[in-house]
Amino acid sequence: MQKQYRNVFVLSGCQATLQITGVTMISVTGLAGFALAEDKAFATVPLTAYVLGSALTTIPASLLMRAMGRRTGFQAGTAFGVVGSAICSYAIVLASFWLLCAGMFLMGCNTAFGKYYRFAAADAAQESFRAKAISLTLAGGLAGGIVGPELAKHTRVAVADYTYLGSYLSLGVVCLLAMLILSRLDIPKLSEHERKSSGRPLGAIMRQPVFILAVLSSMLSYGIMNLMMTSTPLAMHAHDHHFDDAAFVLSWHMIGMYGPSFFTGSLIQRFGVLNVIFTGIVLMFACILAALAGTMVINFWVAMFLLGIGWNFMYVGGSALLTECHSPAERAKTQAANDFMVFVTMAVSSLSSGLLLNKSGWHAVNYGSIPFLLLATGTTCWLMWQRRARPLPVEEPVARR
């Protein structure tokens, strides 16, 4: 097996563990926060702490991996996950809302490292395989859609008198599994010359039209998806749906998010990355229509499934576009800037989710997504027009290994 395929296989397994922890946390943390918070409007604050931890760790994580290599960095991330899960577990025992927020912050640090799995796969792949490497790595997240909700469902009341404790304890086990899988990763460190070279200034990289759309596609897809996904368990609870129904809906949402990854890379190669991103936007509009049509389980199911597929097309497309923007020496700062903006957007959307739902209801969450989808539509059409009107100017040839 070629090294690039083996690395994709390993990173796909790591992506699976990352999404299992992510889905489990989404399934129980909003409800745990609701149970522990004095003001129920702040039920999603622990999830916001999770996203904030991701945002603040994104840049240091990238710089650490630039200096020490991908495998060392990723294993450091899983260590954050083990400690974070322990703190979350202790928070449930003490019934401490703010300790739960602290544990979720550390779980976010773990996620910040894990979000570079897709870039690690692309960086170690040949150019012709790069989009597929990103897509196939993310396909590992399909396990999150299948295992995560089941794990949450079966561990939620596994410990008598401490609802959700079993779920948080299970997260530490999954992080330890990720650490074991990472021992098989084989991605060479940057050469001494590449570590010393800084490449172009970050501002010059960020002014590229391709970078602008790449970041917006990732930011807005994650922001809208997070806004709606974190609200869903609470909205279903408010409409008297059973926890198992919410787990079912989230399971299919994750299948929608990661199932298409088996062929998204091929779609990008055949139809072009901008057409794939645009299709993702259309699917997100369809998600909002399904959500606004009613509050039965089937409405939540269809909406979340379409939201997942739309996110996949926009996020994989944005990640593939980003690889066109930088040389190996510019990789760390470009990827860090991208993911930092993604996580800041997620933090805002996560906090807004609970406030909108508590103050204005489920429909307000959906209506609040529309302006951002219109922004994504306009930006994508703008770059389509740019590319059809004339070739984009190349500021500097991007060296590839």
Using one digit for the tens of pLDDT, what is the confidence trace for 122-168? 887 887 888 889 999 999 888 776 887 788 878 888 887 888 999 99
pLDDT score recorded for residue 251 = 79
- Percentage with pLDDT > 70 across the chain: 94
Say if residues 290 and 305 touch (Cβ distance below 8 Å).
no
CA distance 119 to 266: 17
Say if residues 106 and 53 touch (Cβ distance below 8 Å).
yes
Q: How far apart are the first and last CA of the chain?
A: 20
Calculate ∠ Cα 239-307-59, nearest 5°: 110
pTM, full prediction: 0.77
Dump pLDDT digits (tens) for 36-68: 888 877 887 898 898 889 889 988 998 899 888
What is the CB neighbour count within 10 angstroms for residue 195?
Answer: 14
CA distance 276 to 323: 16
Find the range with the poorest average confidence among 164-168, 340-344, 392-396.
Answer: 392-396
Q: What is the mean pLDDT of residues 186-206?
A: 77
pLDDT score recorded for residue 293 = 92
pLDDT score recorded for residue 304 = 93
Which has more pLDDT, 226 or 359?
226
Half-sphere exposure of residue 180, counting CA atoms within 13 Å on the CB side? 7
pLDDT score recorded for residue 25 = 86
pLDDT score recorded for residue 195 = 65
Residue 83 has pLDDT above 90, yes or no: yes
Residue 400 has pLDDT above 70, yes or no: no
Residue 389 has pLDDT above 80, yes or no: no
pLDDT score recorded for residue 285 = 96
Q: Which domains, ranges and CATH numbers included, belong to the chain? A: 3-389 (1.20.1250.20)
Binned at pLDDT 50, 70 and 90, residue 289 comes out as very high
Per the structure block, which two tokens stand in for 130?
């790069």
Position 296, amino acid? M
Residue 20 has pLDDT above 70, yes or no: yes
Per the structure block, which two tokens stand in for 66?
């630039």
- Burial (CB < 10 A; 0-12, 13-18, 19+), residue 127, is exposed
Find the range with the poorest average confidence among 162-171, 277-286, 386-395.
Answer: 386-395
Residue 398 has pLDDT above 90, yes or no: no
Q: What is the mean pLDDT of residues 359-379?
A: 87
Three-state DSSP state, 126: coil
Binned at pLDDT 50, 70 and 90, residue 193 comes out as low
Residue 368 has pLDDT above 50, yes or no: yes
